[in-house]
Amino acid sequence: MIRIVLPAHLRTLAKISGEVELDVEGPVTQRSVLDALEARYPMLQGTIRDHVTQQRRAFVRFFACEQDLSHESPDVLLPDAVASGAEPFLVVGAIAGGLGLELH
């Protein structure tokens, strides 16, 4: 069982309160976790990864076990603690920095 923590905007969109718990078939990677997440909550498609390229959106970050996994290959195995459910996989909206220009 995989635990996923989503940012507030996406929890609201998917009508989720608290963590998401998912079973993932096969290797536990960013790709397999997000595929399972989007299969259960189709309205999240396109909000975390680009529809076409399946690349992480630029201002979305993936954290787990106090590590930034955002730049890992989507097919690299996630830490054992995530695969076992001991630690959650965090989907985070990046800090805007307060410039208020493009990012309002």
Contact residues for another protein, defined by CB under 8 A: 7, 9-10, 13, 43, 45-48, 50-52, 57, 59-60, 93-94, 96, 102-104
Nearest partner of 37 among 48, 53, 50, judged by Cα = 48
Specify the amino acid at residue 53.
T
- Of 30 and 87, the one with the shorter C-beta distance to another protein is 30
Maximum separation of any 2 CA atoms in the chain, in Å: 43
* Least spacing, CB of residue 37 vs another protein, in Å: 14
Angstrom distance (rounded) from CA 104 to CA 96: 8
Shortest spacing between CB 5 and another protein, in angstroms: 15
Q: Which is nearer to another protein, 1 or 95 (CB)?
A: 95
20-53 per-residue burial string, b: 16 or more CB within 10 A, e: under 16: bebebeeebbbebbbbbbbeebeebeebbbeeee
Q: State the minimum distance, in angstroms, from the CB of residue 101 to another protein.
A: 10
To another protein, the closest distance from the beta carbon of 46 in angstroms equals 5
Nearer to another protein, 13 or 77 (CB): 13
